[in-house]
Amino acid sequence: MIRAFANPKDLTDAIRLLTAEPRWRPVAGCTDISVKLRFDRLDADGFVNLWGLLPRHIEERQDEIRIGAGATCAQLAKSALVRAQLPALFEAAATLGSPQIRSRATVGGNVANASPAADLVPALMSDDARVVVQSANGVTTVALHRLFVGPQKTILGPGDLITEIVVPKPAPLSYARFDKLGFRQAQIIAAVNFAIRATGAAGTLDAVRIAWGSVAPTPVRSPAVEDALAGTRLTEADIAAAIDAVAADVRPIDDHRASAAYRLAVARSFLRRALKECQRWLST
Amino acid sequence: MTADRSRRRAAKRPPAARRATPRRKTHSRPDPLPTVVGKSPRRVDAGAKASGTARYTADLSFANLLVGYPVTSRFTHARIRRIDVSAARRVPGVVAVLTAEDVPGQNQIGVVIADQPLLAHDLIRSAADRVALIAALTREAALAAARLVVVEAEPLPLVCDPVAALEPSAPLLHPRGNLAAKMVIRTGDYAKARAKAPIVLEQTFTTGHQEHAYLEPNAVVAVPDAGGMFLTGSMQCPFYVQKGVARVLGLSHAQIRVVQAPTGGGFGGKEDYPSEPAACAAVLAHHTGRPVRILYNRSEDIAWSSKRHRTVIKHTLLADRDGKLVGLKATIYVDAGAYLGLSSVVAERANASAGGPYRIPNVEVDTLTAYTNNPFGGAYRGFGQPQVTFALESQLDALARELGADPIELRLKNFLRQGSRTVTDEVLRQPPLAARTAVEARDRSRWAAKRRAAETHNAADPDRRHGVGVASMLYGCCLHAGGQHLEGSAALVQIHPDASVSIAIGASEIGQGAYTAMAMLAAEALGFAYDQIHVVPTDTALVPDSGPTVASRTTIMSGNAVLDAARTLGARLRPVAAELCGVAESDVVLQAGAVWARGKQAALSIAELVTAAYLRKVNLAHTGWYAPPKKLWDKATGRGQPYSLYCYGTLVAEVSVDTITGLVTVQRVTAVHDVGKAIYGDGVIGQIHGGIVQGLGYATMERLAVADGKILNPTFTDYLIPTALDVPEIDIGLIEEPYERGPYGAKGIGEPALIPVAAAIANAVSHALGFPLQDLPLSPERVKLGWEAHRSPAAAAP
Ligand SMILES: Cc1cc2nc3c(=O)[nH]c(=O)nc-3n(C[C@H](O)[C@H](O)[C@H](O)COP(=O)(O)OP(=O)(O)OC[C@H]3O[C@@H](n4cnc5c(N)ncnc54)[C@H](O)[C@@H]3O)c2cc1C
């Protein structure tokens, strides 16, 4: 039962409250929390409101793009910087939920909620994002793909707040894409999501980053596929090998939303379409 | 005449109310055309609903109100050994915990046959079976008590498939067996036709459950009242609630008064089902002597209420090489769930509609309704017909593929014509308009060009394929002959001394606009202004039993009853007007809110006329009545006249199918319906839009996940219905050919709007992919895995 709703004056105050009251939870846009509350799936006694306290910037600083944890999907989907530099994140944010949800859904909440289906996470992972965490002990930075330990579980403890997401500026010549398998056009939880960033030159792929959602207990990177592709010229045989490697990286389950076989089939198709597109990009 | 009512045009209408009273010079006689009917005035309930002042059941307050809660168990099929409610009774705030022996009357419910215990005592047959009822001060206390009800039971083997349920070895749910009902059609000589037929197409189709997803979950209040019971709630059929409650309380009908509350949608889901929570609330109210309200939350509503029937349809279509249909054999398995409910009535419509709008001389249809432990099958817009339409229309497209024929040309060759016999051996009296709707839909949609464009596009083997599909429909409007005793309908029209009018009908307003249509008909027939007419909530104490609000019958049945009353009152007012105007009675007309004498507007206003009539003690109230002529129909052969009238319709759907994900996007729908006469213009357009969207959900995304009789996705997170972004572009053509017995020529539109939608979409998807699809919904998973199997059969084999 929720008994408290605290409005701290700043982040330091919020961290103090959360450290003192380990059964209180931070809330930002409340879009994930309210659903848990409705279905009685929230193990907490109180809320600490971060809305209005979290930084909301989206800016380029030296060779990085820095996004305040309080930035909403609506902001991301309006940002020319995100659109130009991080097209996978742009697409994920612009199609998340609905206009109402996008105006409240924060990037920090999407990450901290640790849903295996979170749409922003694979997009951010494919761009090597890092997460800035502030706590009573100071500020640390952790690679996004190291944040998750299980469904709805992260390495964050009580009083650890995500304040910023930092993405290295992508190489000027690179290819990126985001795909989501959702069973209608809006308001839909992904049954598979996928993001890719590839860099290369002169017909050869240099590095490839791929991330998947909804096909494992957490969003995952795709090392077998990435290895299969790195340094190749993306021939038909290379593409076939990469598609074969998908099964090594994902562990989809059967549930009432979709079967494992179907999720795997779509994951392979997503990769195939992206690699065909990438092939055309590489040859130009 | 075909009215052009495209979505764009409808959208351009000014939002403000359009006054029904024409602006005209006052000295010429009004023309005889309707002045209100056919227009789109503001809905009578728009103000209250839009401003939030309409009081739904959850908004009502009563002194000493208790929360009622039905308790289910974790079992789906089991023999009960013991139910222990002692711990539940001790929860603070709990006022009563009742079990089967506390039901004062019969512990049985069910609208056709009462085969369902209100409270289970020996057997549990479904996950929604109640074992106890709780009345408490708060919902929290009721839920806490519900968790403490102990049910010890011995699980029994589950019956989860309607085909297997009818095999001799199947465990029985009811002593009389699992075959709950059987309907047939036997026309011509199918066996002989089969032996000679050059083309025999056999396919088996399956269709899934569908949840109604109305805005307002079930809600009802029962209030003890002078030895009887007063109930109000969200419902379609107050007279069903009245009878159901009388039975469980052991009281007479006259002791039960039911007033329909503003109702947030029904779609068939509130036809018989609300009698269940109403009976529960009434038993609790009787026992505690206090008002008891039951409000379901969404998950409870999805888990406990009825669904569109799941079906399995084994279908054989016979044709000759010219594409002429010569025979049809269908075995239709209807999954009733654990109790009959309305399943036999739904099966009746499925059975009678199996032949569609086509001439098929040799027919053998068997519709078998089976008891299972699955979710409760019930009424849902279309009532068994979307399923059989999907099967038949898919078969017609299979035949077109086989012959290399155009699907619309093939249909045109086979449609019923004037004087031809339907599959139930009825000779149609009214003009069959199927071909008109098909030609209109073909031309409006630019069918041939679109089909060619899709085929050219698909030839390049893109990931996203295009398809265009068609489906036609014959809809028997109003009740089937098997239920014709329920058809009589009443309307009370009362003119008050100040010339305002209140009308009460036996049918209900469930969002479809019935009250608006009734107010328009009353205004038209009385000659009063539309805004003088008020519609009071449907009340079993005000009007005689008028049967259910279903089967697209309200405009016709209640509408005719309103006309009957209004014309009677007109006949009482006219002599007074004649006297006051000093003309003969035959020279007086009331129209468009004015009195007309010898073709000129009289100095006498309607208000003055009414006052004069009142002072002369003229009876200014009348209960009108309408019942259609008797239909002759033989249950043993299915032959005869199943329906009073038919509506025709043809839909063309344009889709794009993403073969990467299997997702079907419906891009455009052209819908042409024969509506007789559109009484309430915007209402008709709204019904067609809604039917398309609901049918689109049924066709593509609405999937009730059921395992071992339990619903796994009783939430809107996981049970997906279309969003605004899933709605296609819609173009509507109305054929207005008046029906001689309809009010101002009207037919029904509620159910026809949905019936052909899934069939047309499925045919479009088949066109896009190049192979037939036999299972609804066309979920992305089915489409994707089907596509991969079609592409490389060996690789995709499981
Ligand atoms: C109708 C609907 C549709 C949706 N559609 C999508 C969709 O398409 N795709 C998708 O990915 N998600 C979707 N969501 C989920 C949700 O909107 C997103 O995950 C959103 O980004 C969460 O952000 P929030 O600010 O609302 O988080 P909140 O609900 O406020 O918090 C979520 C979790 O993160 C924690 N938290 C929040 N901020 C911080 C922080 N700065 N530091 C540490 N912990 C923090 C909270 O304690 C909580 O556990 C949908 C939700 C709804 C209700």
For B39-82, what is each residue's pLDDT tens digit?
Answer: 999 999 999 999 999 999 999 999 999 999 999 999 999 999 99
Contact (Cβ atoms closer than 8 angstroms) between residue B657 and residue B765: yes
Per-residue tokens: B145? 């008590």
Count of other CB atoms within 10 angstroms of residue B164: 14
In chain A the first and final C-alpha atoms are separated, in Å, by: 59
Residue nearest to atom 27 of ligand 1 (CA): A109
Please state, in angstroms and rounded to a whole number, the distance separating the CA atoms of residues A191 and A261: 12
Residue with tokens 């749409």: A119
User: Residue B131, SS3?
Assistant: strand
CB contact under 8 A, A259 and B781: yes
C-alpha distances in angstroms, B652 versus B6, B428, B445, B732?
Answer: 14, 26, 7, 11
Q: What is the mean pLDDT of residues B2-13?
A: 41
Please state, in angstroms and rounded to a whole number, the distance separating the CA atoms of residues B88 and B94: 8
Query: How far does the centroid of ligand 1 lie from the alpha carbon of residue A107, in Å?
Result: 8
Looking at A102, A135, A168, which one is the last position of a domain?
Answer: A168
Q: What's residue A209's pLDDT?
A: 97
Q: Name the residue among B345, B350, B341 with its Cα closest to residue B312.
A: B350
pLDDT above 70 covers a percentage of chain A that reads 100
CB contact under 8 A, B665 and A266: no
User: For residue A178, which residues of chain B lie inside 8 Å, CB to CB?
Assistant: none
Whether the per-residue pLDDT at B391 is higher than 80: the answer is yes
Q: Which of A186, A262, A273 sits opposite B463 (nearest CB)?
A: A273
Q: Is residue A174 part of a domain?
A: no
A138: distance to nearest CA of chain B, Å? Answer: 38
Looking at A107, A135, A168, which one is the last position of a domain?
Answer: A168
Task: Name residues contacting ligand 1 (CB within 6 A).
Answer: A 25-33, 35, 50, 54, 69, 96-97, 101, 104-106, 108-110, 112-113, 118-119, 161-162, 187-188
Q: What's residue A284's pLDDT?
A: 82
CB contact under 8 A, A35 and B725: no
Q: What is the mean pLDDT of residues B198-223?
A: 98
Same domain flag for A144 and A200 = no
pLDDT above 70 covers a percentage of chain B that reads 95
CB contact under 8 A, A35 and B717: yes
Looking at A135, A168, A201, which one is the last position of a domain?
Answer: A168
pLDDT, tens digit, 9 for 90 and up, residues A249-274: 999 999 989 999 999 999 999 999 99
Sort B768 into a burial class: Cβ within 10 Å, 0-12 / 13-18 / 19+: buried
Residue with tokens 């155009």: B406
Whether the per-residue pLDDT at B390 is higher than 50: the answer is yes
Q: What is the mean pLDDT of residues B12-16?
A: 39
Element (H, E) at A220: strand A220-221
Same domain flag for A164 and A219 = no
pLDDT above 90 covers a percentage of chain B that reads 94
Contact (Cβ atoms closer than 8 angstroms) between residue B95 and residue B137: yes
Q: What is the mean pLDDT of residues B230-245?
A: 98
Whether the per-residue pLDDT at B355 is higher than 50: the answer is yes
Q: For domain B32-56+488-626, give the CATH number.
A: 3.30.365.10
User: For residue B713, which residues of chain A lie inside 8 Å, CB to CB?
Assistant: 256
Confidence of residue B1 (pLDDT cuts 50, 70, 90): very low
Q: What is the mean pLDDT of residues B97-121?
A: 97
Please state, in angstroms and rounded to a whole number, the distance separating the CA atoms of residues B501 and B782: 55
> Which of the residue ranges A52-61, B10-19, B680-689, B718-727 would you say has the lowest mean pLDDT?
B10-19
Q: What is the mean pLDDT of residues B510-535?
A: 97
Residue nearest to atom 14 of ligand 1 (CA): A97
**Correct CATH for B307-481+634-796 of 2.20.25.90, 3.40.50.2020, 3.30.70.260, 3.30.365.10:** 3.30.365.10
CB contact under 8 A, A185 and B660: no
Q: Name the residue among B674, B682, B687 with its Cα closest to residue B747.
A: B674
Nearest CA in chain B to A36: B717
Q: What's residue B32's pLDDT?
A: 62
What total of structural domains would you count in chain A?
A: 2
CB contact under 8 A, A188 and B712: no
Q: Which domain holds residue A198?
A: 181-282
Look up the CATH number of the domain holding residue A111: 3.30.465.10
Whether the per-residue pLDDT at B96 is higher than 90: the answer is yes
Confidence of residue B429 (pLDDT cuts 50, 70, 90): confident
Contact (Cβ atoms closer than 8 angstroms) between residue B642 and residue B491: no
Residue with tokens 């249809």: B365
- List the beta strands (DSSP E) in B100-236: 108-109, 116-117, 123-124, 130-136, 150-155, 179-187, 199-207, 219-225, 228-233
Q: What's residue A211's pLDDT?
A: 98
Q: What's residue B31's pLDDT?
A: 59
Residue type, B195: A
As separate numbers, helices (DSSP H) first and strands (DSSP E) second, chain A gives 11, 14
Residue with tokens 């997906």: B720
Q: What is the mean pLDDT of residues B494-520?
A: 97
Q: Name the residue among A123, A102, A121, A122 with its Cα closest to residue A110.
A: A121
Same domain flag for A140 and A185 = no
Same domain flag for A265 and A206 = yes
Pairing of strands A148-150, B645-658: unpaired
Residue nearest to atom 47 of ligand 1 (CA): A26
What number does the ligand 1 atom closest to the CA of A31 have?
26
- Residue ranges, comma separated, of all CATH 3.30.365.10 domains in chain B are 32-56+488-626, 307-481+634-796
Which conformational region is residue B267 in: left (phi greater than 0), alpha (psi within -120 to 50 degrees), or beta? Answer: left
> What average pLDDT is seen over chain B?
95
Q: Is residue A110 part of a domain?
A: yes
For domain B62-156+213-304, the question of CATH label 3.90.1170.50 is answered with yes
Same domain flag for A275 and A204 = yes
User: For residue B715, which residues of chain A lie inside 8 Å, CB to CB?
Assistant: 39
Residue nearest to atom 3 of ligand 1 (CA): A97
CB contact under 8 A, A189 and B717: yes
Mutational test site, ligand 1, from A19, A37, A113, A120, max ligand atoms within 8 Å of CB: A113
B713: distance to nearest CA of chain A, Å? Answer: 7
Q: What is the mean pLDDT of residues A234-239?
A: 96
Using N-to-C axis directions, what is the helix angle for B757-769 and B385-403, rounded to 10°?
30
Same domain flag for A19 and A137 = yes
pLDDT, tens digit, 9 for 90 and up, residues B538-573: 999 999 999 999 999 999 999 999 999 999 999 999
The full DSSP string for B657-707 is EETTTTEEEEEEEEEEEE-S--SSHHHHHHHHHHHHHHHHHHHHT----EE
Q: What's residue A144's pLDDT?
A: 98
pLDDT, tens digit, 9 for 90 and up, residues B295-318: 999 999 999 999 999 999 999 999
Q: What's residue B28's pLDDT?
A: 52
Per-residue tokens: A48? 């600490």
Query: How far does the centroid of ligand 1 lie from the alpha carbon of residue B430, in Å?
Result: 59
User: For residue B788, which residues of chain A lie inside 8 Å, CB to CB?
Assistant: 265
Whether the per-residue pLDDT at B528 is higher than 90: the answer is yes
The full DSSP string for B226-275 is TTEEEEEES-S-HHHHHHHHHHHHT--GGGEEEEEPP----TTTTSSTTH
Residue type, B613: A
Q: Is residue A17 part of a domain?
A: yes
Higher pLDDT, residue B431 or A68: A68
Query: How far does the centroid of ligand 1 lie from the alpha carbon of residue B514, in Å?
Result: 42
Using N-to-C axis directions, what is the helix angle for B238-249 and B275-288, rounded to 10°?
40
User: For residue A35, which residues of chain B lie inside 8 Å, CB to CB?
Assistant: 717
Please state, in angstroms and rounded to a whole number, the distance separating the CA atoms of residues B598 and B46: 38
Pairing of strands A46-49, A4-6: parallel
Q: What's residue B560's pLDDT?
A: 98
Q: Is residue A175 part of a domain?
A: no
- Residue ranges, comma separated, of all CATH 3.90.1170.50 domains in chain B are 62-156+213-304
Q: What's residue A2's pLDDT?
A: 86
Q: Name the residue among A56, A66, A57, A55 with its Cα closest to residue A169.
A: A66
Please state, in angstroms and rounded to a whole number, the distance separating the CA atoms of residues B690 and B677: 19
Same domain flag for A201 and A264 = yes
Confidence of residue A188 (pLDDT cuts 50, 70, 90): very high
Q: Is residue A13 part of a domain?
A: yes
What number does the ligand 1 atom closest to the CA of A54 have?
41
Compute φ and ψ for B640, nearest 5 degrees. Answer: 125, -155
Compute φ and ψ for B338, nearest 5 degrees. Answer: -80, -20
What number does the ligand 1 atom closest to the CA of A28 have?
30
Q: Is residue A231 part of a domain?
A: yes
Q: Is residue A26 part of a domain?
A: yes
pTM for this prediction = 0.96
Cis ω for the linkage preceding B777 (within 30 of 0)? yes
CB contact under 8 A, A257 and B662: no
User: Residue A200, SS3?
Assistant: strand
Q: Is residue A33 part of a domain?
A: yes
Which conformational region is residue B396 in: left (phi greater than 0), alpha (psi within -120 to 50 degrees), or beta? Answer: alpha
Same domain flag for A43 and A149 = yes
pLDDT, tens digit, 9 for 90 and up, residues B493-506: 999 999 999 999 99
Confidence of residue B796 (pLDDT cuts 50, 70, 90): very low
> What is the complex's ipTM, to 2 decimals?
0.95
Residue with tokens 């289970």: B120
